[in-house]
């Protein structure tokens, strides 16, 4: 079935086809610099899962439609609601704990969607990329940054511990854990070159336009490959990133390849 953006409607996102099999999911809330409210992260999960289930989707680009920001993090109104809950004397400690714990787990599940689905993702980071932006980037298969990007594991600056996955995933992705610890413990802002130097991103582009051009070329290259090979490769890499062991990974891919190769018609 041909791709139709009408099937992916959400007020805070734009979903469009770059080419058949290659889809761009864009954050599109300029008023908040793409801050995430509950409606945002639930919509994000829903759209990604729907794209992943589409039999024609091979690769997804996650990006922003605005130059100023990829995402400024958690929406302050949502943060205020959680603070009010914690300070509500009419609720018991257990009621507060259970409500907050459930909320955090559901939020984590939504932000973790790119790591959980079988479709690989490219993340294009630009402008303000604070807090949740880093959590989202950490879940993606490939990360690209634009010059002038301002990255920060910002949560410690507002008095909480980052709880959406950056602290759990980034140590497996970067080559300088001391620098990562520094960024996480200070909440300091760092740029594209620093992100490249620690291995967080694989490419730095001069501006958002050239960033899109690079990601389009990269995604198109991936998209030319057989879908079962694309998704099997993503699964295998994600299994190890999630802490899986090599022996199990080898057994799993032996089974996967045996199933799919026997379905490929012989050339002889």
**Has this prediction a pTM greater than 0.85?**
yes
Tens of pLDDT, residues 5-21: 888 999 999 999 999 99
> Which residue is listed with tokens 């958002």?
208
* pLDDT exceeds 80 at position 151: yes
DSSP string computed for 57-117: --EEEEEESSSSEEE--B-HHHHHHHHHHHT-TTS-HHHHHHHHHHHHHHHHHHHTHHHHS
93 band by pLDDT with thresholds 50, 70 and 90:
confident
Tens of pLDDT, residues 180-216: 999 999 999 999 999 999 999 999 999 999 999 999 9
Assigned fold of 5-223: 2-enoyl-CoA Hydratase; Chain A, domain 1 (3.90.226)
- Domain spans of the chain, in order of start: 5-223, 227-261
86 band by pLDDT with thresholds 50, 70 and 90:
confident
**Residue 190 confidence (pLDDT):** 98
**Residue 89 confidence (pLDDT):** 83
Average pLDDT, the chain: 95
**Encoded tokens for 35:** 């801050």
Q: Rounded to the nearest 10 degrees, what angle do helices 132-139 and 166-173 cross at?
A: 50
Distances 14 to 31, 43, 51, 95, 227 between C-alpha atoms, Å: 15, 11, 13, 37, 24
First-residue to last-residue Cα distance in the chain = 33
Buried b (16+ CB within 10 A) or exposed e, 22-44: bbbbbbebeebbbbbbbebbebb
Pairing of the two strands 13-19 and 22-27: antiparallel
Sheet strand arrangement including 150-152: 69-71, 128-130, 150-152
């Amino acid at each position: 079935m041909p791709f139709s953006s009408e099937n992916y409607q959400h007020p805070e996102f734009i979903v469009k086809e770059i080419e058949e099999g290659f889809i761009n999911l864009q954050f599109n809330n300029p008023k908040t610099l793409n801050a995430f409210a509950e409606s945002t992260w639930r919509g994000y999960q829903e759209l990604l899962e729907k794209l992943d289930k589409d039999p024609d989707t091979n690769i997804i680009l996650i990006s922003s439609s605005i130059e100023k920001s990829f995402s400024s993090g958690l929406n302050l109104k949502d943060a205020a609601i959680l603070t009010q809950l914690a300070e509500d004397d009419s609720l018991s400690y257990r009621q507060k704990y259970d409500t907050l714990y459930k909320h955090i787990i559901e939020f984590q599940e939504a932000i973790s969607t790119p790591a959980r689905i079988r479709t690989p993702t490219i993340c294009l980071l630009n402008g303000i990329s604070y807090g949740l932006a880093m959590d989202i980037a950490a879940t993606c298969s490939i990360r690209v940054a634009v010059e002038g990007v301002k990255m920060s594991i910002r949560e410690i600056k507002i008095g909480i511990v980052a709880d959406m996955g950056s602290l759990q995933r980034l140590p497996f992705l970067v080559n300088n854990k001391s620098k990562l610890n520094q960024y996480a413990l200070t909440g300091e802002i760092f740029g594209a070159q620093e992100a490249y130097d620690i291995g967080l991103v694989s490419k730095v582009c001069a501006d958002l336009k050239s960033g899109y051009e690079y990601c389009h070329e990269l995604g198109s290259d991936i998209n030319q490959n057989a879908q079962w090979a694309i998704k099997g490769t993503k699964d295998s890499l994600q299994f190890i990133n999630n802490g899986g062991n090599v022996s199990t990974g080898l057994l799993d891919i032996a089974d996967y390849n045996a199933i799919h190769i026997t379905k490929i018609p012989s050339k002889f």
